[in-house]
Amino acid sequence: MRSIGHDQQKQRSIWYRLNIDVPLLVGILSLLTLGLCVVYSAGGQSADMAIRHAKRIGIALFVMFFVAQIPPLVYRKWAVPAFIVGIALLVSVLLFGHVGKGAQRWIDLGFTMFQPSEIMKLIVPIMIAWYVSQFNLPTKIIHILAAFTLVLIPTLLIAKQPDLGTSLLIASSGIFVIFLAGASWKLIGTCAVIGSAFAPILWLFLMKDYQKQRVLTFLNPEQDPLGSGYHIIQSKIAIGSGGLQGKGWLQGTQSQLEFLPERHTDFIFAVFSEEFGLIGVTLLLLVYLAIVMRGLWIAISAEHAFTKLLAGSLTLTFFVYVFVNIGMVSGLLPVVGVPLPLVSYGGTSMVTLMAGFGILMAISTHRRFIA
């Protein structure tokens, strides 16, 4: 504790006063820059798309900066009302939501479309961290069950939209809190057993046909190479043909000649791998690892259970994005609509992620206020 305090004193730089965590910022900015380059390449070298992406980066950076100014105590105070409003919004999405791409995800606010599930990505970890941090750690089993229930409600509501990717992210953000709060290993083991028992039920009663098809395709993409298997086959070809050094920026044939679908969004990792090769991928993974390590360091250094749990959950959820996206694009996991964080084109999830980093920065720089 003392050494951290000492650290604080030393680093009272201008960044510190602006509530900006410099190592985190460096990592984020390098990903955003890289994302801009790859989006430009994947979008058929369209300046329009690159400019739109750059604008979103600007907005996201602003949001991050703004959020970083809010003391973490505020979140704790507003956790419960926000959660209730969030659940209400999710229910209303199911009832009155706007249908797009075969799923109900949006609420039409008149001037813009709003996706309540996005904001839940932040509200759920805040809520669970608030709930768990009220009690002593490690959490008692009764509280764990209660926390699980709290996680399950938004997860199921979002899965019903259906939006498997987001519900997965939200579930994991809650579960990370519970895990970090010291749930006993016995309990974790039991949950794993129950979870695997739940899988057939999920398959038979809850998953929609297209989701089942994705799993089947994942297990054997070559079964339908021009249909459902096309995405993953073309993606693996793009990655594999990159080799060690890659084909070079703007030189990826799979992406430039449009063989690769969803190039600038979910499959942007394939474009990156094709053009920058294993060397690029290694560097990218190291940047992600560095961000995760920094995030965990912020969590460990945080002075209150709530901020620790929240910071840890946000960091690990960020990594879930990385794992699910790269895993899916490279054929390790079934296709789930999760973007490559801070690189993929697409505004909503980037803003949410950057808001999350804003919270992390707030936790990193507002320590003295909550001590």
Residues that bind other proteins (CB under 8 A): 136-138, 176, 179-182, 234, 236-244, 253-254, 257-259, 273, 277-278, 281-282, 285, 288-289, 292-293, 296, 299-300, 305, 308-309, 312, 316, 319, 323, 326-327, 330-332
Which residue lies nearer to other proteins by CB, 267 or 319?
319
Q: For residues 235 and 34, what is the distance between their CA atoms, to the nearest angstrom?
A: 19
Q: CB 329 → other proteins: shortest distance, Å? A: 10
Q: CB 340 → other proteins: shortest distance, Å? A: 12
Other Cβ atoms within 10 Å of 198 Cβ, number: 12
What 3-state DSSP class applies to 113? strand
Q: CB 187 → other proteins: shortest distance, Å? A: 13
Q: Using omega within 30 degrees of 0 as the cis cutoff, is the peptide bond preceding 138 cis?
A: yes
Structure tokens at 142: 């009764």
Q: CB 34 → other proteins: shortest distance, Å? A: 16
Single out the residue of 269, 244, 240, 274 nearest to residue 257, CA to CA.
Answer: 274
Which residue lies nearer to other proteins by CB, 148 or 319?
319
Q: CB 42 → other proteins: shortest distance, Å? A: 14
Which residue lies nearer to other proteins by CB, 131 or 288?
288
Element spanning 48, H or E: helix 47-68
Which residue lies nearer to other proteins by CB, 204 or 257?
257
Output the 3-class SS for 267-319.
Answer: CHHHHHHHHHHHHHHHHHHHHHHHHHHHHHHHHHHCCCHHHHHHHHHHHHHHH
Q: CB 98 → other proteins: shortest distance, Å? A: 31
- β strands within 28-151, DSSP E: 98-100, 103-108, 113-114
Which residue lies nearer to other proteins by CB, 106 or 319?
319
Which residue lies nearer to other proteins by CB, 79 or 298?
298
Q: CB 119 → other proteins: shortest distance, Å? A: 25
Element spanning 324, H or E: helix 305-329
What 3-state DSSP class applies to 144? helix
Structure tokens at 339: 């973007």
Phi/psi-derived region of residue 149, left when phi > 0, alpha when psi is between -120 and 50, beta in every other case: alpha
Q: CB 174 → other proteins: shortest distance, Å? A: 15
Single out the residue of 173, 270, 139, 160 nearest to residue 205, CA to CA.
Answer: 160
Which residue lies nearer to other proteins by CB, 107 or 187?
187
Which residue lies nearer to other proteins by CB, 44 or 347?
44
Which residue lies nearer to other proteins by CB, 20 or 324?
324
Structure tokens at 152: 């399950």
Q: CB 31 → other proteins: shortest distance, Å? A: 15
Q: For residues 248 and 250, what is the distance between their CA atoms, to the nearest angstrom?
A: 6
